[in-house]
Amino acid sequence: MDPNWADLKFLETIRRCAPLVITDTDGAAYAVADTIPPEIHEAVGQLNLTVTRVDVGDRLSFPVANWMSCREKLIVELMTRMTRRSFELSKLGPSTAELDLAPTLSPWSSILDPTYGGAILIGAQVGHPTLRGKFINTSRLCGLDTEGAWARTLTRWYRLGDRANQQELGSILYGRVGLADALMLTPSEVQAYIKADHVSAGLSDA
Protein backbone atom coordinates (compact mmCIF):
# COMPACT_ATOMS: atom_id res chain seq x y z
CA MET A 1 0.00 0.00 0.00
CA ASP A 2 1.32 3.44 -0.90
CA PRO A 3 2.47 5.50 2.12
CA ASN A 4 0.15 8.32 1.03
CA TRP A 5 -2.92 6.09 0.81
CA ALA A 6 -4.44 7.04 4.19
CA ASP A 7 -3.92 10.75 3.56
CA LEU A 8 -5.46 10.44 0.10
CA LYS A 9 -8.55 8.76 1.56
CA PHE A 10 -8.84 11.46 4.20
CA LEU A 11 -8.40 14.16 1.56
CA GLU A 12 -11.30 12.62 -0.35
CA THR A 13 -13.40 12.64 2.85
CA ILE A 14 -12.71 16.33 3.38
CA ARG A 15 -13.45 17.29 -0.21
CA ARG A 16 -16.71 15.36 -0.23
CA CYS A 17 -17.88 16.72 3.10
CA ALA A 18 -20.95 18.90 2.60
CA PRO A 19 -22.31 19.78 6.05
CA LEU A 20 -25.86 20.93 6.57
CA VAL A 21 -25.99 24.72 6.45
CA ILE A 22 -28.62 26.54 8.50
CA THR A 23 -29.41 30.21 8.99
CA ASP A 24 -29.64 31.99 12.33
CA THR A 25 -32.13 34.73 13.13
CA ASP A 26 -29.53 37.31 12.13
CA GLY A 27 -29.36 35.80 8.63
CA ALA A 28 -25.84 34.41 9.09
CA ALA A 29 -25.06 30.94 7.71
CA TYR A 30 -23.71 28.16 9.92
CA ALA A 31 -22.43 24.62 9.27
CA VAL A 32 -24.00 22.11 11.64
CA ALA A 33 -21.24 20.41 13.62
CA ASP A 34 -22.73 16.92 13.81
CA THR A 35 -23.01 16.72 10.00
CA ILE A 36 -19.21 16.97 9.71
CA PRO A 37 -17.44 13.56 10.06
CA PRO A 38 -15.80 13.01 13.47
CA GLU A 39 -12.40 12.35 11.88
CA ILE A 40 -12.44 15.90 10.49
CA HIS A 41 -13.24 17.31 13.94
CA GLU A 42 -10.33 15.28 15.32
CA ALA A 43 -7.93 16.59 12.66
CA VAL A 44 -9.02 20.17 13.33
CA GLY A 45 -8.25 19.63 17.01
CA GLN A 46 -4.83 18.10 16.28
CA LEU A 47 -3.84 21.15 14.23
CA ASN A 48 -5.15 23.48 16.96
CA LEU A 49 -7.18 25.42 14.41
CA THR A 50 -9.35 28.24 15.71
CA VAL A 51 -12.97 27.11 15.72
CA THR A 52 -15.94 29.28 16.67
CA ARG A 53 -18.74 27.17 18.12
CA VAL A 54 -22.21 28.65 18.15
CA ASP A 55 -25.54 27.24 19.28
CA VAL A 56 -28.05 27.85 16.51
CA GLY A 57 -31.35 26.79 17.96
CA ASP A 58 -30.49 23.51 19.59
CA ARG A 59 -27.67 22.59 17.18
CA LEU A 60 -23.97 23.22 17.75
CA SER A 61 -22.65 24.90 14.61
CA PHE A 62 -19.73 26.80 13.08
CA PRO A 63 -19.91 29.98 10.99
CA VAL A 64 -19.61 28.85 7.37
CA ALA A 65 -16.55 31.05 6.81
CA ASN A 66 -14.88 29.41 9.82
CA TRP A 67 -15.68 25.94 8.51
CA MET A 68 -14.33 26.78 5.03
CA SER A 69 -11.13 28.21 6.54
CA CYS A 70 -10.55 25.03 8.59
CA ARG A 71 -11.30 22.88 5.56
CA GLU A 72 -8.75 24.73 3.43
CA LYS A 73 -6.08 24.51 6.14
CA LEU A 74 -6.64 20.77 6.49
CA ILE A 75 -6.27 20.30 2.73
CA VAL A 76 -3.06 22.34 2.68
CA GLU A 77 -1.67 20.32 5.59
CA LEU A 78 -2.43 17.03 3.84
CA MET A 79 -1.03 18.17 0.50
CA THR A 80 2.16 19.44 2.15
CA ARG A 81 2.64 16.21 4.07
CA MET A 82 2.04 14.02 1.02
CA THR A 83 4.34 16.15 -1.13
CA ARG A 84 7.22 15.94 1.34
CA ARG A 85 6.72 12.20 1.69
CA SER A 86 6.69 11.70 -2.08
CA PHE A 87 9.86 13.76 -2.49
CA GLU A 88 11.60 11.57 0.08
CA LEU A 89 10.33 8.41 -1.63
CA SER A 90 11.57 9.62 -5.01
CA LYS A 91 15.11 9.84 -3.65
CA LEU A 92 15.01 6.12 -2.86
CA GLY A 93 13.10 4.94 -5.91
CA PRO A 94 10.44 2.22 -5.93
CA SER A 95 10.98 -1.35 -4.85
CA THR A 96 10.41 -4.10 -7.39
CA ALA A 97 7.13 -4.96 -5.66
CA GLU A 98 5.95 -1.34 -5.74
CA LEU A 99 6.76 -1.01 -9.41
CA ASP A 100 4.99 -4.29 -10.19
CA LEU A 101 1.82 -2.88 -8.63
CA ALA A 102 2.10 0.57 -10.20
CA PRO A 103 -0.05 1.69 -13.15
CA THR A 104 1.74 1.99 -16.47
CA LEU A 105 2.00 5.06 -18.71
CA SER A 106 2.90 4.28 -22.32
CA PRO A 107 3.33 6.34 -24.39
CA TRP A 108 3.97 9.23 -22.03
CA SER A 109 5.43 12.70 -21.95
CA SER A 110 6.40 15.24 -19.32
CA ILE A 111 4.71 18.62 -19.66
CA LEU A 112 4.30 21.86 -17.79
CA ASP A 113 1.12 21.89 -15.70
CA PRO A 114 -0.87 24.67 -17.42
CA THR A 115 -2.89 25.38 -14.27
CA TYR A 116 -0.50 25.19 -11.33
CA GLY A 117 2.95 25.19 -12.91
CA GLY A 118 5.56 22.53 -12.23
CA ALA A 119 5.97 19.27 -14.12
CA ILE A 120 3.35 16.57 -14.60
CA LEU A 121 3.08 13.52 -16.84
CA ILE A 122 0.46 12.75 -19.44
CA GLY A 123 0.00 9.50 -21.28
CA ALA A 124 -2.01 6.39 -22.01
CA GLN A 125 -2.57 4.50 -18.78
CA VAL A 126 -3.11 0.85 -17.90
CA GLY A 127 -3.92 -0.32 -14.38
CA HIS A 128 -4.71 2.96 -12.63
CA PRO A 129 -6.75 2.15 -9.51
CA THR A 130 -9.17 5.10 -9.78
CA LEU A 131 -8.92 6.67 -13.25
CA ARG A 132 -10.67 4.80 -16.05
CA GLY A 133 -9.98 6.94 -19.12
CA LYS A 134 -7.32 5.94 -21.63
CA PHE A 135 -5.41 9.23 -21.43
CA ILE A 136 -4.64 10.81 -18.08
CA ASN A 137 -2.54 13.53 -16.55
CA THR A 138 -0.85 12.85 -13.25
CA SER A 139 -0.54 14.92 -10.11
CA ARG A 140 2.64 16.95 -9.49
CA LEU A 141 5.81 15.13 -10.50
CA CYS A 142 8.07 14.56 -7.49
CA GLY A 143 10.70 12.32 -9.07
CA LEU A 144 11.57 10.93 -12.49
CA ASP A 145 14.04 8.13 -13.16
CA THR A 146 16.82 9.36 -15.42
CA GLU A 147 16.51 6.11 -17.41
CA GLY A 148 12.78 6.64 -17.85
CA ALA A 149 11.74 3.46 -16.01
CA TRP A 150 9.56 5.02 -13.30
CA ALA A 151 8.09 8.23 -11.97
CA ARG A 152 6.88 9.33 -8.56
CA THR A 153 4.02 11.80 -8.42
CA LEU A 154 2.33 13.35 -5.42
CA THR A 155 -0.01 10.37 -5.14
CA ARG A 156 1.70 7.24 -6.47
CA TRP A 157 4.40 5.42 -8.44
CA TYR A 158 4.11 4.94 -12.21
CA ARG A 159 5.88 2.41 -14.40
CA LEU A 160 6.91 4.10 -17.62
CA GLY A 161 6.92 2.61 -21.10
CA ASP A 162 7.79 4.39 -24.33
CA ARG A 163 8.08 8.15 -24.51
CA ALA A 164 5.49 9.79 -26.75
CA ASN A 165 6.67 11.18 -30.05
CA GLN A 166 5.27 14.47 -31.33
CA GLN A 167 2.36 12.80 -33.14
CA GLU A 168 1.43 10.67 -30.14
CA LEU A 169 1.63 13.66 -27.82
CA GLY A 170 -0.74 15.53 -30.12
CA SER A 171 -3.17 12.59 -29.90
CA ILE A 172 -2.95 12.52 -26.10
CA LEU A 173 -3.82 16.23 -26.11
CA TYR A 174 -6.74 15.52 -28.46
CA GLY A 175 -5.13 16.96 -31.55
CA ARG A 176 -3.94 20.22 -30.01
CA VAL A 177 -0.48 20.07 -31.52
CA GLY A 178 0.26 23.72 -30.77
CA LEU A 179 -0.50 23.11 -27.10
CA ALA A 180 1.80 20.09 -27.14
CA ASP A 181 4.63 22.23 -28.50
CA ALA A 182 4.04 24.88 -25.84
CA LEU A 183 3.83 22.54 -22.85
CA MET A 184 6.33 19.74 -23.59
CA LEU A 185 9.36 19.71 -21.26
CA THR A 186 12.82 18.38 -21.95
CA PRO A 187 14.37 15.96 -19.41
CA SER A 188 16.62 18.72 -18.06
CA GLU A 189 13.65 21.07 -17.64
CA VAL A 190 11.74 18.37 -15.75
CA GLN A 191 14.63 17.82 -13.35
CA ALA A 192 14.92 21.59 -12.85
CA TYR A 193 11.25 21.83 -11.88
CA ILE A 194 11.58 18.88 -9.51
CA LYS A 195 14.67 20.40 -7.90
CA ALA A 196 12.89 23.73 -7.47
CA ASP A 197 10.02 21.95 -5.74
CA HIS A 198 12.47 20.13 -3.45
CA VAL A 199 14.02 23.47 -2.49
CA SER A 200 10.58 25.02 -1.87
CA ALA A 201 9.71 22.10 0.41
CA GLY A 202 12.94 22.65 2.38
CA LEU A 203 14.36 19.26 1.41
CA SER A 204 17.45 20.54 -0.37
CA ASP A 205 19.48 23.69 -0.87
CA ALA A 206 19.12 25.89 -3.92
pLDDT in tens, 78-101: 988 998 999 999 989 999 999 999
pTM of the prediction? 0.81
Q: 133 near 145, Cβ under 8 Å?
A: no
Contacts of 181 (CB under 8 A, 6+ apart): none
How far apart (Å, rounded) are the C-alpha atoms in residues 26 and 23? 8
Per-residue pLDDT of the chain (206 residues; tens, 9 = 90+): 789 999 999 999 999 999 999 998 888 999 999 999 999 999 999 988 888 999 998 899 999 999 999 999 999 999 889 989 999 999 899 999 999 999 999 999 999 998 888 899 999 999 998 888 889 999 999 999 988 899 999 999 999 999 988 778 877 776 665 677 788 888 889 999 998 888 887 776 66
